[in-house]
Amino acid sequence: MGNKVSIGLLGLGVVGSGVIKLIENHQEELVHQLGCEVQVKSVLVRNLDKERDVEVDRTFLTTDPADILNDPEIDIIVEVMGGIEETYQYILDAFAAKKHVVTANKDLVALHGTALEEAARQNKCDFFYEASVAGGIPILRGITDGLASDRIQKVMGIVNGTTNYILTKMSNEGMTYKAALKEAQELGFAEADPTADVEGLDAARKMAILGRLAFSTDIALDDVEVSGITDLELEDLQYGDKFGYTMKLIGTAECEDQQVEISVQPTLLAKDHPLADVKNEYNAVYVYGEAVGETMFYGPGAGSLPTATAIVSDLITVIKNMRLGISGYHSPKPKFQKKLRGIEDRSGQYYLRIHAKDRVGVFSELSTVFNDLLISFKRILQTPIKKLDVAEIILVTHETSLVTFQEALNQLKQLDAVLEIKSYYKVEGDAADELAGTAKTLQ
- C-alpha 358 chain-centroid distance: 41
For residue 188, give Cα distances in angstroms to 162, 170, 178, 193.
9, 18, 15, 12
Which residues, at least 6 apart from 396, have a Cβ–Cβ distance to it below 8 Å? 243, 349, 350, 351, 352, 377, 378, 379, 380, 427
Query: Which amino acid is it at 419?
Result: L
Q: What is the dihedral of CA 46, 51, 55, 61, to 10 degrees?
A: 20
> What is the CB neighbour count within 10 angstroms for residue 121?
18
Which residues, at least 6 apart from 299, have a Cβ–Cβ distance to it below 8 Å? 134, 135, 136, 137, 282, 283, 284, 306
Region of 254 on the Ramachandran plot (φ > 0 left; ψ -120 to 50 alpha; else beta):
beta
> What is the CB neighbour count within 10 angstroms for residue 69?
22
> Does residue 271 carry a catalytic annotation?
no
- C-alpha 209 chain-centroid distance: 9
For residue 323, give Cα distances in angstroms to 117, 124, 397.
21, 14, 57
- From the number of C-beta atoms within 10 Å of its C-beta (0-12, 13-18, 19+), residue 52 rates as middle
* Helix, strand, or coil (residue 170): helix
> What is the CB neighbour count within 10 angstroms for residue 108?
23
Catalytic, out of 99, 206, 248, 378: 206
Which residues, at least 6 apart from 200, have a Cβ–Cβ distance to it below 8 Å? 160, 163, 226, 227, 228, 229, 249, 264, 265
Q: Which residues pair with 15 in a beta bridge?
A: none
Residue numbers annotated as active site: 206
